[in-house]
Structure 1
Amino acid sequence: MLSFRAMCVVLLVLHAGAVSASPNEERVGTFMAEEKRVTRLDVPANDKVALLAAAYAAVRSDLRFPDAAKEQDDGDLALLYRAADVASFYTSDRRYALDMLALATELQRRNLLTARQQRDTYLALVASRAYAPAKAWRERTRLTGIREADYELRTGVDERRSVELKLTEHGVEAVPFDVPPGPFVLVVTHPLCHFSQYAQDFIERNPALRNALQGHIKWVAVQQREPDMQAFRDWNDGHASIQIGQIYDISAWPIERQWETPVFYFFKDGRIVANIVGWPREGRAKELFAAMALAGFEGVESMR
């Protein structure tokens, strides 16, 4: 007959087996640990995105959404939603936003959907340019408290090309973009970025610099989780000389993904010759003028 101590050991072993992690718990746990590791790496953002995409691919490798969502218990459903949410946040990949939608739809069916999940699903769909599912989700879940996205583009989108979402007096237009020949500067920014505003103020205060860049510079923001383009409307209404558009899909543009703003890319005949990341309050005039010279801008000395 087992002693009391031995029986306790047996019960503990049996209990540990009963509550062992499910395959999904293990996969999501591994993914979340990888997310922590990757975001701390001192590597380009493009490399981080690739590593996170590979890690999430391991999570969803044998899952076929939307049907897979119905097969999960409540705990795994919430875990898989969290993983898809993180993957979508960093990559803006439409596939991952649609995974979120499938999982959120099942959470809603079970009356488990939180207000945060309802909102984040919508914003992820908008960021990934899945406009029709975003609109349907908003209407089906009666989402409130957040402005409605600009779904109706006045022009079609060739997703194989670099495309800018441009505000016009008639609405939002999808405009193809190609880097022109000669010197050109592409600035990744955001209307609410105060570091970008330091750079914009510096350019505006230097007439020679402003004139040299006129017609040779474009300001754009990367796709991200924001409900609409109101911040862009507000900025553009007050800054006629520095209009900011929005990148439709960063993966189709001839630049690397960055998680900082502003980022200046200097092109010479379509090829990047220099870039500047960030613009502190004291500025980066020396680097700016050096990069402009490399790109082939004339009269740089007179701008210093």
Structure 2
Amino acid sequence: MVEEQKFDFLQMVPKVHRVTKLASDQLTIWDISKESLKERAFSIPKHGPFILVVSTPLCSFCNSAAKYISSDEELKIIFSEYSYWLTEPRGQLYTEHFERWSLRYPKLPAGLMNVKPPSPVLRSNIGTPAFYFFLDGDFVQSFVGWPREGEPIALDSALANIGLNRFRKPISKT
């Protein structure tokens, strides 16, 4: 474990909580807060729908997507229950960007991949945000990008393909 240390030329180094008993091929992610980095195992759930969004807190398109999803009550519920937003490792880690993301979009959990994604599906990512839709652990479809006006048609179609209906209609009793 690394304790916090203050240097004139560095920001505060967060406490690091590592998980040591994982298989070497197990994907791990870092849950990030201002105070700490917490490593944990990560895998696509084997049952039910799941949405993985590869994003970065500094990307304007990722922020547009998150804002659009957070402003729609149905989407906010779906994404808070069935999604996780991950950032690929880059050169430097600025925890304040993840902290701001969490404050702006509390229903859209985000973390940092500990290594480049092992899955060929995820390795093919060519931009952010990249939305990956899974059902019962199997990849169903994906799309990349988010124009200013949003991607409601692509998003609604992908959600329907994994059994999630954005527009829940009450069953009429006749």
Q: Please report the TM-score for the alignment, with normalisation by the length of structure 2.
A: 0.79
The answer on 1:156 being equivalent to 2:23 is: no
Higher fraction of strand: 2
Q: Which SS does the other structure have where 2:51 is aligned? A: strand
Distance across 1 between alignment mates of 2:34 and 2:91: 24
Cα deviations by residue, 1:167-223 (Å, 9 ceiling, x for unpaired)? 257511101112112111000011111101111111112111222232100011000
Q: Which SS does the other structure have where 2:61 is aligned? A: helix
The answer on 1:256 being equivalent to 2:119 is: no
Higher relative contact order (CA 8 A, sep 6+): 2
Q: Which residue of 1 aligns with 2:144?
A: 277
Q: Which residue of 2 aligns with 1:171?
A: 36
Q: Which residue of 1 aligns with 2:102?
A: 236
| Seq. identity, % | 24
Q: 1:227 to 1:208 in 2, by over 3 A?
A: closer
The structural deviation recorded for 1:165 is 0.3
Q: 1:230 to 1:170 in 2, by over 3 A?
A: closer
The structural deviation recorded for 1:161 is 0.8
Q: Which residue of 2 aligns with 1:287?
A: 154
Q: Which SS does the other structure have where 1:204 is aligned? A: helix
Q: Quote the RMSD (CA, aligned, Å).
A: 2.6
Distance across 2 between alignment mates of 1:149 and 1:272: 37
Q: Mark the runs of 5 or more structure 2 residues left unpaired by the alignment.
A: 170-174
The answer on 1:222 being equivalent to 2:88 is: yes
Higher fraction of helix: 1
Does the CA contact (< 8 Å) of 1:164 and 1:175 recur in 2? yes
Q: Please report the TM-score for the alignment, with normalisation by the length of structure 1.
A: 0.47
Cα deviations by residue, 1:205-252 (Å, 9 ceiling, x for unpaired)? 211122223210001100001144221122223432123210101233
1:45-194 matched pairs, under 5 angstroms: 147=11, 150=14, 152-157=15-20, 158=22, 159-168=24-33, 171-180=36-45, 181-194=47-60
Q: Which residue of 1 aligns with 2:75?
A: 209
**For this pair of structures, how many residues does the alignment match?**
160
Q: Mark the runs of 5 or more structure 1 residues left unpaired by the alignment.
A: 1-131, 133-142
